[in-house]
Chains A and B, each alone.
Chain A
Amino acid sequence: TQLLEQSPQFLSIQEGENLTVYCNSSSVFSSLQWYRQEPGEGPVLLVTVVTGGEVKKLKRLTFQFGDARKDSSLHITAAQPGDTGLYLCAGMASGTYKYIFGTGTRLKVLA
């Protein structure tokens, strides 16, 4: 069974601080997505990474896919209250068509 574990589960920081969220697995994924979800809403796709070692930047967010395609990280620089939300990583399980979601990281950025 392929699992994705995220850490930390909860994070409360002050505006302007930096943070990193990790998504780890013992399995290889052909691609990995990061989503952000607001309460009562569906997840919104932030980025897709497909190549081992790939780094993608989205304004203050930097996403990295591990060389072995088993893990990923999301780094936020100078966090703002608008970054508050649930961050989810999701990978397509090999040999299947389904996405496996991580447990989620709930981020709160205080003004």
Chain B
Amino acid sequence: DAGVTQSPTHLIKTRGQQVTLRCSPKSGHDTVSWYQQALGQGPQFIFQYYEEEERQRGNFPDRFSGHQFPNYSSELNVNALLLGDSALYLCASSLGPTRGGTEAFFGQGTRLTVV
């Protein structure tokens, strides 16, 4: 049973560029959440996708956008990259609300470095 998989594992981008990160949820899960984890801090919630729609959003600017596909996989897009966007980006999958989802399982993360 495959867990949550993310790609790529590492990425280096230049300030001002755009980046797309990808996530495949754990088998059977239909909800995907994205988190940003700066060095030495706990993960911060970016947004959550369920039924191909953004269900909830954290305190992140519109430069951060996402998408969920019919197969439940998801993408996180960040435009106009800033140096401060350098972080570990984590994807978490869970069961939807109608299926009693209370646990989130995380992928290994994508380490984004903006130079």
Within 8 A of B (CB), among A75-111: 88, 90, 92, 96-104
Closest to A106 in B: B40
CA distance A31 to B103 in the complex (A): 9
A-chain residues with CB within 8 Å of residue B109 when the two chains form the complex:
40-42
Question: Interface residues of A: mostly helix, strand, loop or mixed?
Answer: loop
B104 and A99 within 8 A (CB): yes
A103 and B41 within 8 A (CB): yes
B33 and A41 within 8 A (CB): no
Interface residues of B, CB < 8 Å — how many? Answer: 29
Is residue A62 contacting chain B, with contact meaning CB distance below 8 A? no
Question: Interface residues of B: mostly helix, strand, loop or mixed?
Answer: strand
Closest to A96 in B: B56
CA distance A37 to B113 in the complex (A): 20
Is residue B24 contacting chain A, with contact meaning CB distance below 8 A? no
A-chain residues with CB within 8 Å of residue B107 when the two chains form the complex:
42
Tell which of B42-50, B68-76, B79-87 binds the partner.
Answer: B42-50
Tell which of A11-19, A43-51, A52-60, A64-72 binds the partner.
Answer: A43-51
Which residues of B does A touch, CB under 8 Å?
A: 4, 6, 31, 33, 35, 40-45, 48, 50, 55-56, 58, 88, 90, 92, 97, 102-109, 111
